[in-house]
Copies of this chain bind each other. A is one copy, B any other.
């Protein structure tokens, strides 16, 4: 059996009308397993953030591997995005790619752009894996560097333009926070219809769902991975909260 690529998996989920990504930001395997088992039919992806597992040390590392492998085994059609925000020089990135893709078995990883394409190459060369580059982050202070004007254009837009030229293997995506819908719309304009956008920041961070969807979708009404973490996993009823977000997205797409 050939392994499905990240893009194939995520595209299939979009075709099924699913756009919610649940952020598994908690290091307890059993807790995560419960979340996954009650949301698998509603989501387009899962996104464990490495920091929450690292905070738990050795046990966290085990738990991260467990949950990714659990998803891959039981729900192999759902891609797992390792939100690790890595990036070092090329030689060193091979280590990070090995951990994310070979040891842990993730389908995609988030990366920082600062070192440029030449450094990111070991990730880009993994043709079946998604490489999601930070373009506009969801945090309140994102503008400090990301809005600096480069020849009259904010840096985040220049990063988005560059990232498009990195996409020779068709496995590149971008990350834009739901907290910045105007910037999200501009980025979609830059990257066209074929590049996925991972959009964290709905839920606890306060991003508006309808604005996010309308700003982020491509011309086919797809292309977005709308991620919520705390607001779903710590909800009294995670399935209900996921379903509500799913429905809000579906409703927004009809407008």
Contact = CB atoms under 8 A, between A and B. Distances in A.
A51 B141 contact: no
A98 interface: yes
Given A54-B96, A92-B49, A92-B51, A141 B113 contact: no
Interface in A39-90: 49, 51-55, 57-58, 60-62, 65, 83, 85-90
A158 interface: yes
Given A85-B87, A162-B145, A55 B98 contact: yes
A219 to B, nearest CB: 29
Contacts of A53: 95
Given A58-B62, A61-B61, A149 B150 contact: yes
**Among all A-B residue pairs, the 5 with the closest Cβ atoms:** A118-B141, A116-B144, A51-B95, A55-B95, A54-B99
6 contacts: A51-B88, A51-B99, A113-B145, A116-B139, A116-B144, A145-B159
Interface of A: 25, 49, 51-55, 57-58, 60-62, 65, 83, 85-90, 92-96, 98-99, 103, 112-119, 134, 137-146, 148-151, 155, 158-159, 162, 205
